[in-house]
A and B are shown apart, each in its own frame.
Chain A
Amino acid sequence: MKKKDKELYIKFYQEMQRLRSFELKASELFTQAMLAGNIHTYIGQEAVAVGACNALKESDYIVCTHRGHGQCIARGCKPNLMMAELFGKQTGYCKGKGGSMHIADLNRGILGANGIVGAGLAIGTGSGLASKITEKNEVTLVFFGDGASNEGYFHESINMASAWKLPVVYLCENNKYGVSVCIDRVCNVEDIAERAKAYNIPGMIVDGNNVFEIYNAVQKAAEHARQGKGPSLIEAKTYRYHGHYEGDPQVYKSKTEIEKWLNHDAIENIKKEILSKGFASEEELKIIEEKNKAEIEEAVAFAKDSPYPDVREVTDDVYTTDNERGVVR
């Protein structure tokens, strides 16, 4: 492994811890009935987003999933504008019209999270096609889950990306469950990355709770794409600690399985390594954690203080042109 220097360790720790702080707070707020609708938290999967987004360039693009908070923050979304969106406030990324599942930030190359499982595969592949048509050396990374790998979108998108050598990195976060259904009950392939063979593209399996493994794999796949060699399929094996949604009783998970994964926590693991290598002290890591928590508290305060959208905005932005007539007739 290259670049495993002190700075990178601290950076990865700080970022993963930041995602978790955001999600633990969001979960808490949801339980307190402060947030409407549903939220899907990223707790347990932080290494995937942090490793992947750090391997990309500023000019690259990402497409997120319905479990996308962590992916957005890792790519540079501001926690306060995200929290405002979760609260349905006017100051949120989508002015309160998208909510938790649909955060997008085009200024950061985030083409959006999507409420339709698998849709992001086609959108991201289309972004790759746009880069090819305009001859830009950008890469699009598509986050998707094990569930989406059984959608037609998966097959159609990767097939075309492979046929046309599009600069796309397909990153499957295999957290084992599509809502309640374990992947091994609905798929007769042990590893989703195995499917890469069907498209004649590189397939890689990585420990989704090891941020360096993700980082290196995505760097490799992005470089492959940038050289015009086409897409890759990376499968990151990971686990979501919470339910599909907050409040999900998770009857489908066993205690031993949960314990196994809790003992292989990405943040705890990197923390142990940092301490054993002497890159930082307990106190220094505690300071990082406190800073993250303070930032998230500020984000919550910002969201709470922000106004709700004016009811007149309900008909805004259905169309870019002729909006008024399009809405009335």
Chain B
Amino acid sequence: MRNITYGQAIREAMHEEMIRNSSVFIIGEDMGVMGSVFGLTKGFLEEFGPNRVIDTPISENGFTGMAVGAAMRGLRPIVEIMYIDFTPISLDPIVNQAAKLRYMTGGQVSIPLVIRTPGGAGRRNAGQHSQSLEALFTHFPGLKVIAPGTPYDAKGLLKSAIRDDDPVICVEHKILYAKKGEVPEEEYLIPLGKADVKRSGKDVTIIAYSRQILFALEAAKELKKQGIEAEVIDLRTLVPLDWDTIQQSIKKTHRVVLVQEGVKRNGYMGEIASQIIDELFDYLDAPVKRVAGLNVIPPFSPALEDHIYPNPQDIFKAVMEIVD
């Protein structure tokens, strides 16, 4: 199978869906002439024209709100918010409008909107360009949230998100854009709300998403050297959650380590931990363990930044603490 980058996979997903459905259009900063700051839409403007590939002014609140209006009219906008750190500027259209308008109109409208936005640390961009804010969006009923960690998942999930009739926040990881992985030539979709067991094991369950899934798999390799078989679950979609896959695994391994890059306090894995304790307590042979980012602001200096988010060694250590 061919190998392409995560960025290329996202590009292909958008490209194929733009061809498939003329209601799909792209709107955001630098999406047209420049082809996006990460180069994901190069050539789209020439191919699809300025009505479907729209370069906006730096007005995140305005153009996100406009995308909601266009979605109410039956179009399928793909909005890019250049960095997830900028989404707080456009929170009202996301959390008060897109998330709520179906419910508040008694089901009169759907909001088939995708908001793509890269998060994550590791590029020495400091506190306003390096955060992981996905937990924020999982808080709001009405939004769906995906956070792919591989090129294969990114393409299949984004295509499903574009076809979905609800607003979907697609949290990408900027470090992953250049990472390669197997992606078939032929078309495929990955349904929203379906986790993927990336590695089977019987001794401990490691649950992660986005970039941390790669670290979890690295940790699992090291654990194998210690005779520990870790099962690694990639959530892929945070809302709606694939609870079945989680519970099946924990009922088998009786131990769980939850991994996220974002700050620990009020992180998404705190919610998963809580659901596990509520519903699977009797199956657990050890405390639920969380491995997460420090409760700090992403610092600039490389000497500091690499210490704020989990690495494979941290995951390895956490597993060793709960395995006999």
Q: Is the CB of A133 within 8 A of B92?
A: no
A112 to B107, CA, bound (A): 12
- The contact size tier of chain B is 35 or more
Q: Is the CB of B109 within 8 A of A106?
A: yes
Chain A nearest Cβ from B277, distance in angstroms? 15
| Residue B313 CB within 8 A of the other chain | no
Task: Please name all residues of chain B whose beta carbon is closer than 8 Å to the beta carbon of A159 when the two chains form the complex.
Answer: 57, 59, 62
A232 to B105, CA, bound (A): 28
A106 to B106, CA, bound (A): 11
A129 to B59, CA, bound (A): 15
A314 to B139, CA, bound (A): 18
**Interface 9-mer from B13-21, B69-77, B126-134, B290-298:** B69-77
A168 to B66, CA, bound (A): 12
Q: With contacts A130-B73, A133-B51, A319-B166 known, is A94 near B61, CB below 8 A?
A: no
Q: Is the CB of B92 within 8 A of A95?
A: no
Task: Please name all residues of chain B whose beta carbon is closer than 8 Å to the beta carbon of A128 when the two chains form the complex.
Answer: 69
B-side interface residues toward A, CB under 8 Å? 25, 51-52, 56-57, 59, 61-75, 92-93, 96-97, 101-110, 141-142, 144, 164-166, 192-193, 239-241, 243, 275
**How many residues on the A side are at the interface (Cβ–Cβ under 8 A)?**
52
- Interchain CB contact (< 8 A) of A318 among B61, B66, B68, B142: B142
For window 97-155 of chain A, which residues contact chain B by CB distance below 8 Å?
97-98, 102, 104-106, 111-112, 114-116, 119, 121-134, 152-153, 155
- Interchain CB contact (< 8 A) of B61 among A92, A115, A124, A153: A153
Which interface residue of A92, A128, A156 has the most chain B CB atoms within 10 A? A156
30 A–B contact pairs at CB < 8 A? A97-B103, A97-B105, A98-B105, A106-B109, A112-B101, A119-B96, A122-B61, A122-B66, A122-B93, A123-B68, A125-B66, A126-B67, A126-B68, A127-B72, A128-B69, A130-B70, A133-B52, A133-B75, A153-B62, A153-B65, A156-B57, A156-B59, A157-B66, A160-B63, A317-B106, A319-B144, A322-B192, A322-B193, A325-B193, A325-B241
Task: Please name all residues of chain A whose beta carbon is closer than 8 Å to the beta carbon of B62 when the two chains form the complex.
Answer: 122, 125, 152-153, 155-157, 159-160
Task: Please name all residues of chain A whose beta carbon is closer than 8 Å to the beta carbon of B105 when the two chains form the complex.
Answer: 93-94, 97-98, 102, 104, 106, 112
